[in-house]
Amino acid sequence: MEQQDIAGDMARAREYLRTLPAMARFHDTPARATMDHDLVVRVAGPDGLPDGMLAGLGPGASVPSPGWYFRASLAASVAMFITMRAAEKHLILDGLVVTVDAESDDRGALGMEEGIPSGPLEMRVTVHYDGSDGDESAARAVIEWALEHCTVYDAIIRSVPVELSIERGVPEAAPAAESSPVQAASSHSG
């Protein structure tokens, strides 16, 4: 997709939401995980998502753990937001690579010590690019804006209410995917 197409899609999405602000809020596509065997978790979600993930324990870990998918989600989201913002600012960032790494302590996840968190102790987002057609400050401003507006990053740094619902019996069918009104507006207009 060309930069002008991305910038146009962003402008159309913003205009759509200015005109119809009630359409800005929607339910995201649910992700469903089912235990299979030997700590293999089968996930159902959008096209392109691998159907098997391991819990990250034991010698049989042949696919990435859920924690890796979490970090990959953040890296992909940051890269996408950088690309979108760069297109809006008519800035080219060559060789963009976003890496997310974390340090964790499995004793927390295994409930071995009260004071150790189950999740990452710290995370680092590294944005690398080979060059730009703009100056360093323009590139930095695009990258910082992208991180501040990245949806996955926001969910990590902000306390998001999580409701636990426990059901017994045969699970309901997975809800149909609901596309974002912004995605629908962008895809229909371009």
Q: Where are the domains of the chain?
A: 31-63, 64-159
pLDDT of amino acid 187? 47
pLDDT for position 10: 85
128 DSSP 8-state letter: E
Residues near 62 by beta carbon (within 8 Å), at least 6 away in sequence? 54
Mean model confidence pLDDT for the chain: 82
* pTM to 2 decimal places: 0.77
Lowest mean pLDDT among 70-84, 103-117, 174-188: 174-188
HEC per residue, 26-86: CCCCCCEEEECCCCEEEEECCCCCCCEEECCCCCCCCCCCHHHHHHHHHHHHHHHHHHHHH
As given in the structure block, the two tokens for residue 105 are 């302590």
Average pLDDT over residues 54-75: 72
Topology (CATH level 3) of domain 64-159: GMP Synthetase; Chain A, domain 3 (3.30.300)
Determine the pLDDT at residue 77: 94
Q: What is the mean pLDDT of residues 57-81?
A: 80
Higher pLDDT, 110 or 140: 140
